Structure 1
Amino acid sequence: MPPLLFLPLVLVFFAAADASLTACRNATCGAMAVVYPFWLFNSNSPASALDCGYPGLGLRCVNNTLILPFRTHKYRVLAIEYSTHTISITDADMEYSSTNSSCPHLHANLTIDDRSWLQLASSVSNITFLYNCKSNVSWASAWKLSGCAAGSGNSSYVLLDGGVTGEAYGYECETVVMAPVLDAHKKTMAGVFGRLPPENRSFGEVLSAGFQLTYSAHSDKCSKCERTKGWCGYRHNETSTTMDFTCFCEEGSTKSHCGAKGLKRKLYAIAVASSILLLCLLLFASLFTLKKYRSRKISNDAPRIESFLQRNGTIHPKRYTYTQVKKMTKSFAEKLGQGGFGAVYKGSLSDGRQVAVKMLKDPKSDGDDFINEVASISRTSHVNVVTLLGFCLQGSKRALIYEYMTNGSLERYACKKNNSRGGISLTWEKLFDIAVGIARGLEYLHRGCNTRIVHFDIKPHNILLDQKFCPKISDFGMAKLCINKESIISIAGARGTIGYIAPEVYSKQFGAISSRSDVYSYGMMVLEMVGARERNVDANSESSSHYFPQWIYEHLDEYCISTSEMNGETTELVRKMIVVALWCIQVVPTNRPTMTRVIEMLEGSTSGLELPPKVLLSW
């Protein structure tokens, strides 16, 4: 992403810091605005509710109607006059209908203590309702309510003077409720003593008209804040648990009004944004430089590889363009596998032969993986070595084209994890033939070629099986070419796969690196083949907690007898595979047999085949 594209993100980041507070002054319910000191419980603002207003002054918006949950009761908001600091409300739960207008049924008293943010306005006084009284009320200021009695002989009343409620309980009324009304309504009712309110207005209508409450919430500070284009709020003090008035400004919040502090915050925001932008520029420059370096590296590697191909023009196979590779794989439609080197795809040549196309990942530092593969495998021709049919070298696109192996890799049949998932289990005879075939292929690489080849990555994954399960050694990306038959090999760093790497490859204290390193990998692979084939070995048995070569050394006879076929010929095959493998994994390279000797032991009798020294297995 270009660095300039980060600038809008930075600006959005700083704008988001104030967006939640801006939402406080944009809260509405229906056509009514809700601002400081009130706030909405159900506001979509991500800000904390108390950032917008005072505790106890939270409103709810229900069906576009504002509701004030005050004390234990709910009141419907009729209007909010922010200029006079008044709010008009009415009882939201009052039972009142036009068919029973003379008997509004109230449920709760409105009591307000001096500590509340809300107080009754001076224009409001109380009237008292007495419901279902057993004794008649004879006060001059009491009206009898019709339609409210619940039992025979009982009556309900309304008293204009709220101060007599204590005496009202002596009349054994079921419910006594004090309700606030505007004084104008009370005086109107008092002037028409002896009958219902004038102008055909019922008590229910008078109560529905509501009453007023006043509030006082830092009005002087809020006025100063608003004059400086801020908006008022209320939030937790940073150093205590108290709540303080807060003036929110475009550039941040203060405790009084907007002004000089805003400039300082703007400069700070600009400095932070500039720093982030600079970091983005540096990151972009680094990525651009790296990409350019890699492109130059690829272009510098290409002449060296081309020079190699020209020097060995009589050896290397056919060269294909990247367009031809895409065509033979149908744009890489069928993927056969994935490895550290890259992906392998199925394809077809123009003559109909099926092939496996290995697309190499981004080339390594000097293109050695590609050269190793082409140089080494092009010098081979053996039934147990895979055939390289072609390659592609076009810019950064590098591909190797092999003959297609129908049965995939030995890993499918020689690994416990695959067998445990229901993989195909080969017979002991077939596993033995595969082990012999791999040995012959390695012997050819070590001694049969004009230039000796050490593979350095022998493992089940790199052994491919054709339609008749004939094994073929593949993947020569780590191979090393040696002119002298028994020369010691020098390599830079360890190469191979953990679990199959010979000890001397990663530590010189074990000995010199040579073709015996492949012998060690071969031995570990054969032991894995044996362990995966014999499923009678309990995963919870003693063998599961020990180094398997050590365990099988100590239980060789028992293990061979436990083979499922239970016949002498099979037992001999299994014993030969195990004993040969144990010789191959000796720690000291010179104690390991050559691949020629390995073949002799596999094809000979087990009568003269002795176990190697046990002590060498404990490293």
Structure 2
Amino acid sequence: MGNHGAFHRSITLQALTVFSLVAVLAADHVQGGDDGCPPFTCGHLQDIRPPFRRRGDPLECGVEAYELGCTSSKATIHINTGTYYVTAVNYTGSYFWVSDTNFDTSSSCPLPLWNHVPYYGYYGDTDSVSPPGFRYLVTQSSYTACFANCSQAVTNNSVYKPVVCLSANDSHVYVWVSEYMSCLAEDLEPYCGYLAEIPFGNEYSSDWRQPQNASYADITQFISKGFTVRFPVEPRGPSVSEKLRRNINICLNNSISYFKEQSSGASIVNWTHAFFWSEVHFLECVTQNSDDHYYTTQFVLVVVTILSAIAIPKFFFVLFRLLLAALAVWIFLAYKYWKTRIIIDAVEKFLRIQQMIGPTRYSYTDIVAVTSHFRDKLGQGGYGSVYKGVLLPGDVHVAVKMLEGNSNCNGDDFISEVSTIGRIHHVNVVRLVGFCSEEMRRALVYEYMPHGSLDKYIFSAEKSFSWDKLNEIALGIARGINYLHQGCDMQILHFDIKPHNILLDSNFIPKVADFGLAKLYPRGDSFVPLSAMRGTVGYIAPEMISRSFGVISSKSDVYSFGMLLLEMAGGRRNADPNMGSSSQAYYPAWVYDRLTREEVGEEISPVAADMHELEKKLCVVGLWCIQMRSRDRPTMSEVIEILEAGADGLQIPSRPFFCDEGHIHVEDSYQFTSELTAVSEEDLTAVSEEDDV
């Protein structure tokens, strides 16, 4: 298998090298000698001699440019990019007849190919206008048939002969004869464009007649007979360049044979000779078989080129075999770097736009100075640490959230936070003062909230707020969420409403914070993709788990707010596994049971009877907000109206959770809610320990 692959590599190397060799030595194309090159038959042509040759003939026979392709009845030759039939050869006059293989004489209305011209330009006395290897492409008495397509009929030029079979109502095709080697621009009418051109004619023909007044049919007959091409007149032996080329080709073939012979062996010595001695074998052959006058600049250049073509691929082959593992590691690291750069570039592109319309962008050195080298740490969150800082001038206190590079906060979350909160100005929504993004070091600078987050107060052992203050805080939170849903051009769905994300300023005014999961959607759009299912366990709406409860919409934030209200009213988390199987294990079930018993006039304990009016209102509103089906929940604007009004007239909603009718079994209720809350108790505990801005 290895020998087979080495053989193919050597063949590919041979092809590349021969190509380079031909390109270097293509300047000298002359007629080769006749020694050892007998005449041959090609198609209907007989007694063919040099400069013509057949494919596969020895290099010393004929000239490469005059190589013929032979079939049983045809002989063809390549001139430029075209292929032509060779119909006759005249060695006395040193010319041969050719006709275009693409000109279909059997067609009733033939037309030459527009891009099939056998010569380069205007005819002259030098070989520069002819393809390499041809003395003259067309004899001096030849003509060119020029075809043009005109947008209107030509009536003032008798030279133009109409081609009726190719014309239409708005397209008129004409042909005329030019006495030059190509069609001249001055012969073209201003409303006409070239279609094609083709040479024809021969001054040596006995039946030749002048074609100036010929019709399209006559010109077609002329073209079908073809045109003449001259070949070199003076026969001479191979030039120095040809001898050099043949010598190098012979040595190259010997070198390849040597490589194949050595690589077929099984010993290490054979493989060493094959890979590292082939070039030396080639160089020895060239120097031994070359005369002293061969050592020209051209000779040295060709030899160096061939040696490089042989040695360089071998070098890289060995290099890759030895360094394959290192290369794989490098590719992996490059891929990781490319992925990181995509995130960084996306963030940078967004921030350049945001800088013109949004909060201030700070450098990382500014952040270090603002936080006094991160001296005063306020807390540790899921996405990083929060530090207290001071902006100068003015001594404005801020909270700086440093996003850790190894956290779950990727570029999308950072962009989401800056783009949503950066455009919001509301008394109940935290204000983003600025941000920092340098490579993977990112920070968010917020207004400083002296009293921290709401969870510190509602879950404390001592009651921190009066019921009036709790109602005021709940109303402020509702107004902030309603502003996100209704107050912007695009509705903003927060998806993570919970006590930890409600911050309190110096006057205990609540502000909605932490927009890392927020998304923008058109206002009035009630449908949100299921891919938006994110949030904190215990506050996630049922439709975020299963569409059977409704579609994801702004009502999902209403559900989270309802859970928040119940926790504010109860002063404890809604699901408390530490309560065991007591009647208070799941607070929404317990408070619903308590309210429904009171409504029907059943006897309840003195503790249950002592329920404050505002506590009852918060509980009822919370139960309305956590209805299982999203269509049964109120909007945030309706919640605001209820909280602003009194507690009179509030109706108890339907049971907002799955359970048996009648008396509540706490075990059953807690078993259901465990699907939403106890799935990740570790996450819930971690969330309670977070200390955000």
Instruction: Calculate the TM-score normalised by the size of structure 2.
Output: 0.44
